[in-house]
Amino acid sequence: MSKFCKTCCLLYDSNEVVRLTNFVAREVTELREILITIKEKILTAKSNLQPIQETIHNISFNPNIQVDYHAIQNDIQDGIQSIQNDIRTIQQNIQQTIQRIDQVFNPQHNDFFQDIQTEIQDIQLGLQEIYNGLENFHNELSELNQNFTLIVDAILLAQLKM
């Protein structure tokens, strides 16, 4: 049975509204789960950085103490590479989520989605900001890796001169 909506001045079928409401509820629940997974992966990447930081802080830079800097450097590079791989996976998930939101909540598919378009765009913008933040984190890890390599090279050069 069709009814008239005073808010949007459209005729609508109440069964269609129920179907759309259920559809949106399922999609929002699924998106929420995806966002929780992304958050957990970000927290895991962050916690994986902790051992790298501890290793760097605990290194003795005294040239008289024997330290296998290459082994430490390899461990740090492996840890950084693992985190960077996680970041790329998270970014891929974010891009897929943004595309899914575009496909599912496209107002061209249904006028019903026009009313929530601002909220949809806010979610996509927030996801894009997370993506950009992860890109910055990825670049900072690359810089950390390069700086640590320079430090190790300088220490090893100093040891050779002794």
Number of domains within the chain: 1
Residues near 63 by beta carbon (within 8 Å), at least 6 away in sequence: 155, 158, 159, 162
| pLDDT value for 107 | 66
- Is residue 12 domain-resident? no
- Does residue 108 lie in a domain region? yes
The DSSP bridge partners found for residue 11 are 4
pTM confidence score: 0.73
- Domain span at 127: 34-161
Whether the CB-CB separation of 86 and 41 falls below 8 Å is answered with yes
In a domain, 29, yes or no: no
pLDDT per 10-residue tile (average), the chain, 162 residues: 46 67 80 86 85 83 76 90 92 89 73 74 89 92 91 82 74
Instruction: Establish if 45 belongs to a structural domain.
Output: yes
